[in-house]
Structure 1
């Protein structure tokens, strides 16, 4: 297998604040919404959201524009949620033989690559149907039976599905009359508005699904009540929305109103404010319209071809190569140019070794994005390797990594598109108060555990090893490189930041998982101390690791703790993080732990060897700590300060240190 040659791509670490507050939204019609709309979906002038029309074999998606935090702060349970919406399905004829239905969906992404219509409802395809890697929860309102059968028949049922089209639970569409055990059928394709409620109890792990006609209030007894633990299905950030599809049978699928809430009951919709859906045009009328359009098209076709030829000769057209079709979503350059206001300087939110990062707002749906603009002096060299890495990164899925949304190649530039992270970088939150936000110790501890979990995924748990190579708090964007497991890197250039670079990287120029661990160790100390990797102390520049060890030598390691915390922290946790930071940033590669070991230390599954069982009195005598380090073979009789910083940044002059980050 050919390895990428010195090519850099970008990943975000998504720094999140855990919050137990309720999140909710309500739509009475969608004229003023900024939903993410895909393929056949349109918003009608009345405000009705039409997912598909009666055209055969089309797909429509509509999703709330920002991901929703699904997990509870206090434990690993999925938060309770509730949604209430009104939909309307109008078949292509009066004989109620339309199809194929719609589904409410929770998904890690608002886009479904290579999804198929028909029975797959625009969400899955024949190859990924049923895969646990989908992480999709859905409730389907299906109007056609015959999934994986030789023929299709009329269907009218509601199903709860996990990761595929085989329903865990399914019932004919109906509702229980209040106070009785009797049910009344609800005809999904009646052409009339229908109400649907989906409620998940995150404590009891129960999913309730209820439907009724518009004239019937929410029944007391749900149609289905199933025990389903979603903690193994959904990811921390999920998109909520709808998907619909047609096949050889077709219907118009509408959403008229929608409310959603985390940790509470979804708001009731005011039925007087629900938009009206005009009657579908008859097939004869449609036929006349089509004939008129065809006649007009025949007249204009020649003019259109001439205009197209003129555009080709008058403008430089960007040509798509065949291999580009296999990569994730390709954005139009003009779309990204408009989103970033022409890559205006005021929209720049970061600068890396391979280009600048810009904030943007997509004109098509109002979604916020971050665009990394990578400069390339040789547009031909390595494009296939770039494509291979983009395709791989598009499949990375972890709750502490922001997903790659797409890309664009324009002239000599490669543009990578990610979700925009509104909370900014860890650097900005450590050293300045943003919007009144101050990082408490518990938030800092949660962040470093989240980063460790993400690094473990990149190093060991994905199908390839991913090395991000520039681990620092100010990096919203993190450089990455892909290798096969068990193979070494062939990097010849050093990429990193003074104070974070592992000593061996300056000698060999080869990045590895161990150099990532070194940078992570510096980051741990930075989070505890509230200081950058270069500390200005007593009219001199001091490496952060040296400064922490000096505090040790003076007799109290807690002098190094960020004063902004005002002593409001867990002593044992601070001691653990500082000890782990020193161990990870050890100059000897063989002494550093792996990220799997780091995660075990942070979760309390194993005890950190350097600092286990020390008292919590607040004073850490240097002779006690030094003796433990000597006993473990981590240091020699030379000074501790000399040990912990040998060449983190190579042989640097004071002027080079003054350049900081």
Structure 2
């Protein structure tokens, strides 16, 4: 390890020093500190400043991440001045670093790391995942960031216009790269391009140079031990004048961020120079990346142990029986068209071991949809929820798997991540992130189901969950590349993570039952109390039917009551009608969950209840969009002033006015038809 910082100032005679002070004034200090360079081959804890989960390991590696959904940072301790004078232009500078990326799965890696120049040593509010710990969905793209970065991205995120899942990008104040290219290098001898897989687990070297004269960023890379290629990998076509970006002084460093799967980002060596080439990194002194890959070791054991066991079996007949049993246990249904979905497919064997053979002790829930189990993937130790769904035919299966893979690309902090799928004969298996605090409904209705052991959610937590689910629906309806209609929004489909943040689950699952189905059928798709009138009449879903269900969800969370409550043997009370009655009588806040004992924001609760009623308007065109709902919840737009008489609708009379038959309006019949579906999309 070496470190060098030079100040190109000699010890002049006294009169020369006086002249410099008089004529150069404050610029003298800037000139003396302009030439800065350093070089590290391995690191000590005192060499860098760390933040997040980053750490300097005993083997002298900087490890930026250590598990899933985390971020970490490593900074050069002292700020650097990139200008010779306060109003001058940013000088040329040069960076070189050696890095390595390892994933639990050789073919799947999320999300990436970056070298950056930033005005501060902290990134408050920045998200992990695809924002690489630098920005969030609000700050991304803001000129106030004053951040330059070079990203090494291992996940293709369509929201950020990524070119693929293995690229190098130049970023200015945003993760939408101004220029990007596939990771690799050009051979100096024959000029051929060689692709480099960033997540290969092998060390690689990266060179980044900023040319102040042309205002261009130039970059190249190569496997460790290969000299810096003469031909550039990436030279910014767009103007990247960092004089318009960087503040004075600024910090240089690295960030790493992982998504739902554990990905480890390492820095082995680093050199930097201002206004000159970065010093060569002494690769002979570099630390070694951790050897071996958990998945690879697991595969070796899985292959070696059966072979070693078979060697001790004398009877060929016994060996054949064992092999046949093994094949039947892990047999999967695979077709040629599934090859394109690659890493989104899990092996049944991995899921079988993750759930200990789908033992009942791991069962989280069951219903018409099938069963949901908690599992732990052996290779990555990642906790997952494994959902088994029956299917009887191949009709529409390819289209559905395409949708599953597409939905798996949804990335939002308030959505339960769909990781992938597996297929067996007559059975489809979906794999989700596991939410350790379970579904929201057990907290809202704990007095009915478990009065002693369930934690009561306070108003701040409830409002945070409401806003989170609204944000997720806004993303599904308007911010993703396609429109996604959830179709079964309810408390049991809202799951709580370790911080009690609400995440919407089961999005898209209902589509399995829609392929090849007549959308005009009278079989009701949804859950009683959440069904929009037009959905009951036509069977067709839209974003506004989601808004209707979200309105019921608002009342349910605020009141702590189920959407439909049995009263006696033959009578059912609709929650919306009960809330409307209190609004008519001027006692709307009396509907707020009594268990809160008055500890809530009165104006906020009133607004949420009225917003819920507005979302439940029988006319679809009178309901707000989720964009408007977010504006109401964030206080960016006042809620429309509505008199109770203008929302004086009773569910039964409302359906009659909409032209529903008596069979559809019959609550027992409706409950029966819904029961077959509500199990399909239960709350796990």
TM-score by length of 1: 0.55
Q: Residue deviations 1:353-375, cap 9 Å, x none?
A: 43222111112222100111110
CA drift at 1:482: 7.1
Q: Indicate yes or no: 2:104 matched with 1:102.
A: no
Q: Indicate yes or no: 2:535 matched with 1:505.
A: yes
CA drift at 1:237: 7.7
Q: Indicate yes or no: 2:518 matched with 1:495.
A: no
In the superposition, relative to structure 1, how do residues 157 and 510 fare at CA in structure 2: closer, same or farther (>3 Å)? closer
* Residue number in structure 2 paired with 1:423: 437
Within 2, Cα distance between the matches of 1:656 and 1:439? 31
Q: 1:528 aligns with which of 546, 558, 581?
A: 558
Within 2, Cα distance between the matches of 1:243 and 1:626? 61
CA drift at 1:397: 1.4
Please identify which structure carries the higher strand content. Answer: 1
* Residue number in structure 1 paired with 2:488: 470
Within 1, Cα distance between the matches of 2:587 and 2:151? 63
TM-score by length of 2: 0.54
* Residue number in structure 1 paired with 2:682: none
* Residue number in structure 1 paired with 2:339: 325
Contact 1:514–1:589 (CA<8 Å) still a contact in 2? yes
Contact 2:97–2:205 (CA<8 Å) still a contact in 1? no
In the superposition, relative to structure 1, how do residues 370 and 640 fare at CA in structure 2: closer, same or farther (>3 Å)? closer
Within 2, Cα distance between the matches of 1:591 and 1:496? 21
* Residue number in structure 1 paired with 2:634: 603
Within 2, Cα distance between the matches of 1:226 and 1:548? 56
CA drift at 1:376: 0.5
CA drift at 1:337: 1.5
Within 1, Cα distance between the matches of 2:209 and 2:609? 47
CA drift at 1:145: 7.8
Q: Indicate yes or no: 2:469 matched with 1:451.
A: yes
Q: 1:225 aligns with which of 232, 239, 251?
A: 251
CA drift at 1:383: 2.1
1:341-380 paired onto structure 2 within 5 Å: 341-351=356-366, 353-378=368-393, 380=394
Within 2, Cα distance between the matches of 1:411 and 1:394? 22
Contact 1:329–1:407 (CA<8 Å) still a contact in 2? yes
* Residue number in structure 1 paired with 2:616: 585
In the superposition, relative to structure 1, how do residues 531 and 436 fare at CA in structure 2: closer, same or farther (>3 Å)? closer
Identify which of structures 1 and 2 has the higher relative contact order when contacts are C-alpha pairs closer than 8 Å and 6+ apart.
1
Contact 1:398–1:454 (CA<8 Å) still a contact in 2? yes
CA drift at 1:472: 0.6
Secondary structure of the corresponding residue to residue 414 of structure 1: strand
Within 1, Cα distance between the matches of 2:651 and 2:407? 41
Secondary structure of the corresponding residue to residue 401 of structure 1: coil
* Residue number in structure 1 paired with 2:28: none
Within 1, Cα distance between the matches of 2:98 and 2:528? 57
Within 2, Cα distance between the matches of 1:473 and 1:394? 22
Q: Indicate yes or no: 2:94 matched with 1:64.
A: no
Please identify which structure carries the higher helix content. Answer: 2
In the superposition, relative to structure 1, how do residues 639 and 465 fare at CA in structure 2: closer, same or farther (>3 Å)? closer
* Residue number in structure 1 paired with 2:44: none
Contact 1:101–1:253 (CA<8 Å) still a contact in 2? no
List gaps (5 residues or longer) in structure 2: 1-50, 77-95, 113-149, 157-162, 178-183, 195-202, 211-215, 227-244, 269-282, 293-310, 312-316, 496-504, 679-684
Within 1, Cα distance between the matches of 2:321 and 2:671? 58
CA drift at 1:339: 1.3
1:64-463 paired onto structure 2 within 5 Å: 64-68=66-70, 82=73, 101-103=98-100, 111-112=108-109, 123=154, 127-128=164-165, 129=167, 150=191, 225-226=251-252, 241-242=264-265, 254-255=288-289, 315-316=327-328, 318=332, 320-327=334-341, 328-351=343-366, 353-378=368-393, 380-432=394-446, 437-463=455-481
User: How many pairs align?
Assistant: 457
CA drift at 1:400: 1.3
Within 2, Cα distance between the matches of 1:578 and 1:359? 35
* Residue number in structure 2 paired with 1:557: 588
CA drift at 1:409: 0.7
Within 1, Cα distance between the matches of 2:434 and 2:619? 37
In the superposition, relative to structure 1, how do residues 506 and 642 fare at CA in structure 2: closer, same or farther (>3 Å)? closer
**What is the RMSD of the two structures over their aligned residues, measured on CA atoms?**
5.8
Secondary structure of the corresponding residue to residue 369 of structure 1: strand
CA drift at 1:421: 0.9
In the superposition, relative to structure 1, how do residues 155 and 597 fare at CA in structure 2: closer, same or farther (>3 Å)? closer
CA drift at 1:606: 1.6
Within 1, Cα distance between the matches of 2:103 and 2:345? 24
